[in-house]
Amino acid sequence: MSWRRWVFVGISFAATLGVTLWVLRRGDAAEVPRNLSLPAWAHLAAFAAVLLEITTRAVKIQWAALALHIPLRFATALRVCLGGDFAASITPARSGAEPARFVILVNGGTGPAPALLVLFAELLLETWSLVFVCVVFFFAFEDRGAVVNIMNTMIVSYALLVLALGAIGYGLAHSHARGPVPGWAAAVGLHAGRWRAVQLALRSLRTNLSAFRTARQGPMFAAFVASLVHVGLKLALLPILAITMDPSLSLAPLALWGMVFLYGGAIAPAPGGGGAVEFGFQFAFRDLMSPAVLASTLVWWRFYSFYLYIMLGGLSVGTTVLRALRSRQHGRLHERTARRT
């Protein structure tokens, strides 16, 4: 990453911390907790939920690959999860997540085309898991109409995006795997050299698409169950922390708004949300929680749902992800220099 992007990341994180401090200072000073403490069992439960969520997500990726007849070690799947989380946290709209996962898969010995299949299968499983959870929430919390509508709109949009990307890839693999550079590709900067690389990937992808037709149903179902478990664990973090602070809180708004923040916050253009998640949290719960409960819940929920993932990803595969991002930028710079000369 260039220094300009690091400055942008720094500004976004500073805005995030600024909004958090604003939330902490909201209300009477006497009501705002001084130490933001939680019971030890709450921290243990939240930390265990994070570890189990990462583990089940890695299991999902490994079993999805197994269903597609692609060998993948659990250690590599775990690195894929952590690397994607780290890259997503430091790039706008989580745009670095899939490239980082792709690089880690390829470095782990998976070919480019099988790696794309694994990533698409993972996104598809995630989409259907979210749809399943939305259906459950729709019937379980039907009295929360406004939040349910927001959540359903968000998930349907996400599902349509994933399916659209899959359809585009499928169409390109069958119509543009060979031949000259089409006009639309040249318009977006894909010159002959780049387009040949794209065509090689498309031909490999077309060859491997048959894996979906012959996918093993047992491992794919196991991957779907693991996906449901990991989504449930992510959504459980907010109720665990909030109800610890105030047992009288209702589960419905915590579960519904938690889903909106976790998956809707991914579209924020600034890395880490730039304070949008914190501001939305304050807006959603200002009438449901006291300032003290809201402040403590926000700080610890963001730590366990965001900052802890950055630390774990940075410690495990941060160097690999940053090296991949730098190599991509150097490659672009070299191509621009070659065209000018």
Q: What local confidence, expressed as pLDDT, does residue 21 receive?
A: 80
- What share of the chain in percent tops pLDDT 90? 26
Q: How far is CA 299 from CA 21, 88, 194, 253, 295, in A?
A: 10, 20, 45, 18, 6
Reported as a single tens digit per residue, the pLDDT across 229-252 is 999 999 999 999 999 989 999 888
Is residue 216 scored above 50 in pLDDT?
Answer: yes
Q: What local confidence, expressed as pLDDT, does residue 331 receive?
A: 45
253 touches 288 (CB < 8 A): yes
The listed range with the strongest mean pLDDT (93-107, 114-128, 145-159, 294-308) is 294-308
Q: What local confidence, expressed as pLDDT, does residue 34 receive?
A: 53
Q: What local confidence, expressed as pLDDT, does residue 229 receive?
A: 96
* Helix (H), strand (E) counts: the chain: 14, 0
Mean pLDDT of all residues in the chain? 78
Is residue 289 scored above 70 in pLDDT?
Answer: yes
3-state secondary structure labels for all residues of 51-97: HHHHHHHHHHHHHHHHHCCCCCCHHHHHHHHHHHHHHHHCCHHHCCH
Q: What local confidence, expressed as pLDDT, does residue 171 receive?
A: 67
- What share of the chain in percent tops pLDDT 70? 68
Reported as a single tens digit per residue, the pLDDT across 12-22 is 778 788 878 87
pTM, to two decimals: 0.78
Q: What local confidence, expressed as pLDDT, does residue 160 receive?
A: 67
Is residue 339 scored above 50 in pLDDT?
Answer: no
Q: Which residue has the higher pLDDT, 106 or 146?
A: 106
